[in-house]
Amino acid sequence: MKGTIRTAAFTAGVLIASLGLPAGAAHADPATPRIDLRVLVVSDGGPATDAIAAELDTAGTPYTEVDLRQSGRPVIDAGFLADTVEGRPRAKFQAVVLPNDNPFAADSAEMAALAAYEQTYAIPQVDAYTYARPEAGLQYPVHGGYSGSVDGVPAEVTAAGRAGPFGYLDGAVPFEDNSPTVGESYAYLSTAVAGADFTPYVDAAIPGRTTRGSLVGEYRHDGRRELVVTFVYNRYQQQFRLLARGIVEWMTGGVHLGASRNYFAVHVDDVFAADDRWDTELNCTPGDVDCAQGEGVPRPIRMTPADVDHTTAWQTRRNFTLDLAYNGAGSVDHREDNDGADPLADKLVGDRGRFRWINHTYTHAFLGCRQDVTVVPWKCATGPDGRTAWVGRTEISDEIAKNRVWGRAAGLPLDDDELVTGEHSGLKLLPQQPTDNPNLATALADNGVKWLASDNSRDPEQRRVGPAETVSRYPMNVFYNAGRAAEQVDEYNWIYTSRAQGGSGICEDHPDTSTCLSSPLSTTTGYTDHIVPLETRIALGHVLSNDPKPHFIHQSNLAEERIAYPVLDGVLDGYADLFAADTPVVNAPMKDIGVELRRRAAWRTAVAAGKVSAHRIGDTVTVEAPDGVATTATMPAGTTRAGAGFGDAYAGQVSGWVTAAGPLTLTLPSSAAPLAAPVGVDGEAASTRTAPPTRVPAGVTEQVPYTPER
């Protein structure tokens, strides 16, 4: 076969690996192949391959994409897939992802080259979304199976899936059903062809039958292994997010660059202060800039000691720590107005060790341009020369330093590196303030601030502001000016309904807004029935996307009716129902999140520039990266570096960051050696079994893959 290396020594090396013999024995043989830790993604522009590529991108796993739609694309032949380096056979890719089991024309030389490559180097293949058919080891759906919508279907990880690549899941894989009018998921449910070596990993009940059909399964034939996925998905859907880790671990054998974890951190802003309340008649917030000056009567929302008790009990029950972003002047002002008494501050300070604390500036002052609030919306004031008038360096520095002094005096366990400015002010804010306050960077330097919070909805990418780097935070749509569910719903209705329905009309002006309403929600049931499920789904989507960015709410949401807790509980309960105990949610402090984001950015840049390479020979993994760039990798439990354990345990594996001087060398445990091929149903080795017949039976038409609406 053209380009395929076959020698007696090489065949012996592959045999040693395939039989699971000690890897060191194979490594001594110069014919033991080198497998580069890079994935080949062959795309047809569909959502399934796009989703897998996005998962690799986010984790930091190098891959090469070949787009079949491009006329000038590389030809996939033996030379493209493999060569020899320093006398050793080299496989250039550790796994292959195809749009389906065979996206090429009949009798394609490219598919033949891929099949030969997979056989020669024991390279696994993922069929990102394929029709259930004998070529993929499955019966056509007309033979007792099903093809159609699987919206809302409760799929399950099988025993083989839990013992294999999907062991980080508890079992349930619920398919989304977010709209009764939009088709979201489509699948082919079927059982294995008689005699095929097919192992379902995720399945679901076949409608109208007592049998279950495969949605994800492994098919072994002709010396090849395929992960056969028979449902369509995009990168955002929960069912894919749940299975994405397992797909990557299956195709890489758990040995790959990059890492993935599930993060959830929640910042509570304005602690010690009081938040102004939404006025349901005026449709604005008296005391804040969305109301005209003097309009309405401010009615503040502030936590009580009982709210603190509820919060600490909730944290204990959930094994979760909130980050409290505090404003010391809130307590000082309260004491001045109440003969020196502030039971809330006394309670919070007494329980200070139960929380993480972040400097939120002393008075929560706006630290950007000078605001002209004589108009709604406000605008930046200008000086006599017509230039923007900015809050000065000294004022900004005083807000940071005074709050820090107050916190230290109260004994709060602060990290001086972290800062959240009021309303993320000082940073650019469109449309009024398109640039950062030029005095912000110097004030941050004056106070040694290294991590500065930003609003992900308007400033999503980490960037440098003077000596600090930003940490983008997701705003939860639980409003700062609502302490009760009815207030929240009233404001939500005003924002997201049409002008004809009494709303703001923002959705008419910006139809891409994702939370628009066709009609107002009930102020009695709308929060529980609509807002809580939606906000839970959005936040849980972030958690499942290997996204470390924190979310933020406000102290008002922990007061009065405590409306934040249903959303937070929804996220944590939903997560607990889905994941095994060895895959906990990661609840990281702000500076650790900042470091993670910074490392990822440097790693992605190095990978994109082709400055990262890695390969495996037997039980040894070697990684080369630019000096100063930390390496991220995921390996089997028991992997060592210079005799010491590598990484931290997560989802049944170990992963972590390492900054090495020169190449990084890792030693895999013996359990990481490729396993012997399982025996087929009739005793024949599965790796030598041939594929089932490929003839399409009479009356069956192969369907064009279905694309879900986003």
Q: Give me the pLDDT at residue 31, please.
A: 81
Nearest to 408 by CA among 54, 657, 400, 211: 400
How do 256-257 and 631-636 pair as beta strands?
antiparallel
Q: How many CB atoms lie within 10 A of CB 512?
A: 6
Q: What does the block give as tokens for 161? A: 């899936």
DSSP string, 301-369: B---HHHHHHHHHHHHHHT---EEEE-HHHHHHHHHHTTT--HHHHHHHHTGGGSEEEE--SS----SB
Average pLDDT rounded to a whole number, residues 89-99: 98
Give, as one character, the DSSP assignment of residue 572. H
Q: What does the block give as tokens for 564? A: 């934040």
Q: What does the block give as tokens for 555? A: 């102290």
Residues 6+ apart with CB under 8 A from 409: none
Average pLDDT rounded to a whole number, residues 62-76: 97
Q: What does the block give as tokens for 601? A: 């950015």
Q: How far apart are CA 400 and CA 364, in angstroms?
A: 10
| Total count of residues recorded for the chain | 710
Q: How far apart are CA 312 and CA 268, in angstroms?
A: 13
> Domain segments of the chain: what residues?
8-261+675-688, 266-590
648 near 227, Cβ under 8 Å? no
Three-class SS of residue 661?
coil
Per-chain mean pLDDT for the chain: 92
Q: How many CB atoms lie within 10 A of CB 705?
A: 18
Q: Does position 700 have pLDDT exceeding 80, yes or no?
A: no
Nearest to 453 by CA among 360, 526, 378, 546: 360
35 near 253, Cβ under 8 Å? no
Share of the chain above pLDDT 90, in %: 88
Q: Give me the pLDDT at residue 672, please.
A: 79
The fold adopted by the segment(s) 266-590 is TIM Barrel (3.20.20)
Q: What does the block give as tokens for 663? A: 């190449």
Q: What confidence tier does 377 reach under pLDDT thresholds 50, 70, 90?
A: very high
Average pLDDT rounded to a whole number, residues 291-314: 96
Q: What share of the chain is helix, strand, coil (3-state, %, to 5)?
A: 30, 25, 45
Q: What does the block give as tokens for 19? A: 């039989």
Q: Does position 696 have pLDDT exceeding 70, yes or no?
A: no
Residues 6+ apart with CB under 8 A from 12: 29, 31
CATH 3.40.50 for domain 8-261+675-688: yes
pTM of the model: 0.91
Which phi and psi (to 5°) does residue 480 adopt? -65, -25
Average pLDDT rounded to a whole number, residues 144-157: 97
Residues 6+ apart with CB under 8 A from 329: 272, 273, 362, 363, 364, 403, 406
State the amino acid at position 419 in one-letter form. Answer: L
Q: How far apart are CA 67 and CA 97, in angstroms?
A: 12
How do 644-645 and 640-641 pair as beta strands?
antiparallel
Average pLDDT rounded to a whole number, residues 664-673: 88
Q: Give me the pLDDT at residue 673, please.
A: 55
Nearest to 429 by CA among 478, 491, 367: 367
Could you read off the pLDDT of 316-355 as tens digits, one per residue?
A: 999 999 999 999 999 999 999 999 999 999 999 999 999 9
Share of the chain above pLDDT 70, in %: 91
Beta bridge partners of 146: 189
Q: Give me the pLDDT at residue 690, please.
A: 63
- Give me the helices (H) in 440-589, please: 440-446, 485-496, 506-509, 526, 532-543, 565-578
426 near 459, Cβ under 8 Å? no
How do 186-189 and 146-149 pair as beta strands?
antiparallel
Q: Does position 264 have pLDDT exceeding 50, yes or no?
A: yes
Q: Within a 13 Å sphere around the CA of 334, how many CA atoms are in the beta-carbon half?
A: 21
Q: What does the block give as tokens for 345? A: 């501050």
Average pLDDT rounded to a whole number, residues 506-516: 90
Q: What does the block give as tokens for 237? A: 């859907």
Q: Does position 98 have pLDDT exceeding 60, yes or no?
A: yes
Beta bridge partners of 620: 617, 667
- For helices 343-350 and 328-337, the axis angle rounded to 10 degrees is 140
